[in-house]
């Protein structure tokens, strides 16, 4: 960890790292050429939250946490238009758990499946733990430990291996830990907006305008600090107020 002492115990860390070791071994053995196929082989036998293969928008693998139990109460769209509560995203998030190790292992599997290319962390869900009304620090620590462990196997992994958006008010130390582990985080409503027209000072998501094929080829969300604007999409397209991407 870059600054915080882990909040998960030694037994949990040992279990996490043992699964990471097995998944790294499996990642070298698989002959699968697609992200979906690699995920299926790498995750075999390891308990974890759902992991999605590349879709048309992201172009890379993504992880799911449960909508509601992992979302802060400040999110204005929870239960009121959240895209994660509809369609295939809803089916995936309903199978997800807030268990910190299951969430972290999903990120590890996704990262291995993409050979370290940035993954979309939290297609649904966030860093919150509703059961205790606080930031889920155990998950953040498990996530950082898992992703940092991958660097011990491959020193050529890119600096940024995942990106996400959050409605949580993360502490500077938590953001620093995530960044050290290779996770780029944008604060929803501040660094990521959703409006029909891009507000002054933001850039419009290039994948929505057709300028680039997908997030994996765009990369602006983790290579620039300028706020991004997303046009309302999915169930949010019927709403008019700002929302989280």
**Does 45 fall in a domain?**
yes
What SS3 string covers 7-51?
A: CCCHHHHHHHHHHHHHHHHHHHHCCCCCHHHHHHHHCCCCCCCCE
**Does 26 fall in a domain?**
yes
**Does 109 fall in a domain?**
yes
**Does 220 fall in a domain?**
yes
Q: How far apart are CA 15 and CA 19, in angstroms?
A: 6
Q: Pairing relation of β-strands 62-64 and 51-52?
A: antiparallel
**Does 72 fall in a domain?**
yes
Question: What total number of domains does the chain contain?
Answer: 1
* Segments forming the whole domain that contains residue 177: 10-238
The average confidence (pLDDT) of the chain is 91
Q: What is the tens place of the pLDDT at every residue in 176-234? A: 999 999 999 999 989 998 888 888 999 999 999 999 999 999 999 999 999 999 988 66
Is the C-alpha dihedral spanning 97, 102, 107, 110 positive or negative?
negative
pLDDT band at 244 (very low <50, low <70, confident <90, very high): very low
**Does 5 fall in a domain?**
no
pLDDT band at 79 (very low <50, low <70, confident <90, very high): confident
């Amino acid at each position: 960890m870059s600054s915080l002492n882990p909040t998960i115990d030694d037994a949990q860390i040992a279990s996490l790292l043992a699964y990471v070791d097995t998944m790294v071994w499996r990642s070298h053995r698989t002959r699968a050429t697609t992200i979906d196929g690699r995920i299926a082989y790498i995750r075999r036998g390891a308990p974890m939250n759902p992991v999605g293969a590349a879709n048309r928008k992201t172009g890379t693998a993504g992880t799911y946490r449960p909508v509601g139990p992992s979302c802060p109460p400040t999110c204005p769209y929870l239960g009121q238009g959240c895209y994660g509560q509809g369609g295939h995203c809803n089916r995936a998030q309903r199978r997800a758990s807030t268990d910190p190790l299951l969430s972290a292992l999903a990120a590890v599997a996704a990262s291995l499946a993409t050979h370290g290319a940035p993954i979309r962390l939290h297609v649904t869900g966030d860093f919150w733990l509703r059961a205790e009304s606080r930031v889920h620090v155990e998950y953040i620590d498990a996530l950082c430990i898992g992703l940092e462990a991958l660097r011990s196997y491959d020193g050529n992994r890119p600096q940024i291996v995942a990106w996400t958006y959050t409605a949580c008010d993360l502490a500077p130390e938590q953001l620093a830990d995530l960044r050290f582990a290779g996770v780029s985080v944008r604060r929803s409503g501040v660094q990521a907006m959703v409006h029909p027209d891009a507000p002054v000072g933001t850039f419009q998501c290039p994948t929505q305008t057709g300028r680039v094929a997908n997030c994996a080829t765009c990369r602006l969300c983790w290579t620039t600090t300028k706020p991004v604007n997303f046009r309302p999409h999915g169930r949010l397209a019927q709403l008019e107020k700002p929302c989280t991407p």
